[in-house]
Structure 1
């Protein structure tokens, strides 16, 4: 059976989402009942993006707080899209589209966190907003094909942004 381009997109998004879900589930530490305090995030290897060497630890701490919220929204969006829960997908996409952005570096701000990030990061940040808005629109219309395609394009942007961040592209 030959898959059409739209069905191929839907299948690709489904496979990517399932893989992400399985990876996230496997990477989560088992919860045990213990009287010992849980280890600090810095002590445990938590699933997530690796820390790039070019950003100092204090700046990574600030980024980590923002990205934890972003990651939660991305997981909720993945489930909402994959399970065709339109209201959940729309709300998560709208949160991603409206989350505060990092501003591009300004003259004299060479020591700011923003000056450490590559220019491509800012371009992709803007692109993610536009693509998240498209996901929200498709979810609102309950257009499964547009939802899958727009979500796939958003995930492409996510991967490109993570790559730009890690490899300072």
Structure 2
């Protein structure tokens, strides 16, 4: 995805990806957010995510490390820990030149549910979305949830092992901090 230069609105480290998603919705941002997970920062894995917004509603998702778009990109981006986030404002016509909408499109509420685990924010985002958007398979309308991103995540053994290693290291650090003997 070739990103145009935008006007930087925010650059910070957040513990929860809900913050930039809510900020984009509240400010009706037309532009994009670059999310770099802590894992990418610490392990230099080079995988960052890009979400585009039109009037605060997510439209496209892309992951630079896996070169995947749409719901699969959200699965690649969903990692434990903090994120470095940059939120940019763009002219509305600049979004039209970003990537293939068919390959990169995400339903409006999906980023809030998959990245932030926030059904209330997802519902607010769906309400703010214009009507012609495709229905959101995660909207709870009784239909099946889209299993694509979850299945893709579960098949990624390297990502699962990295999460396990991160959890082991955190458990070891806390055990030492509390004075437990882990031998």
Question: What's the TM-score, normalizing by structure 1?
Answer: 0.29
Structure with bigger RCO (C-alpha 8 Å, 6+ apart):
1
Greater percentage in helix? 1
Greater percentage in strand? 2
Question: What's the TM-score, normalizing by structure 2?
Answer: 0.27
